[in-house]
Structure 1
Amino acid sequence: MEEEEELEVVPASQTSHVLAFLDKYTTYRIQVLAFNPAGDGPRSVPVIIRTLEGIPGAPGPIIFTEITMNSLRVGWDTPQEPNGEILGYIVAYETSMPSESKL
């Protein structure tokens, strides 16, 4: 994945700034520099920081194998957007009654 540097200009009257719309559970390298009409000053020492975890995206398609009269194996792909470390999965199921068809 190619990294793309983004820049945000902050007025000289401020000494803090909120970086918004960052990706969840993503590592960023942050640096600051001052500039004036003479040009850009040197960058600060980079700081590596990671945003917090968020709710995971949906797991991938559900597939069924090893279907017998009283069991089956259900499988799925990990979420495309895990947004953190996946601790486990909850598999929910219920009995589905077929619809009564009127003849």
Structure 2
Amino acid sequence: MVSGQVACERAIKKRKARLVLIAIDATTNTRDDFVGLCCRYAIPYRTWGLKEELGKAIGKPARAVVALLDRHFATQLQGLIDFLNKSGGGAGGRFVEVNAFDKKEDI
């Protein structure tokens, strides 16, 4: 797993990222940049949580972007986020924007 804009961009461009999480409160530029990168490189992404929550989840200060590198972890987390999104649960109902690259074979 990597976090922060530079490390996540590098992981996406090297096609090592398996799932990218973008904080809901990321700046418009950050969000647009990473959505564009994920679409360009066919990497699944989800918009989830606040920067503070993303950072806390990985034991770091606030983070706008996190990239998961492990395929199995990414698959499980993506499934959980999608389930919570469908059931209306999760981080105060703040889930999720889903991109077009969410088929399991794409992960």
Q: TM-score range with shorter-chain normalisation? A: under 0.3
Give me the TM-score of the superposition, normalised by structure 1: 0.22
Does 1 or 2 have the higher relative contact order (CA < 8 Å, sep 6+)?
A: 2
Quick check: which one's strand share is greater?
A: 1
Quick check: which one's helix share is greater?
A: 2
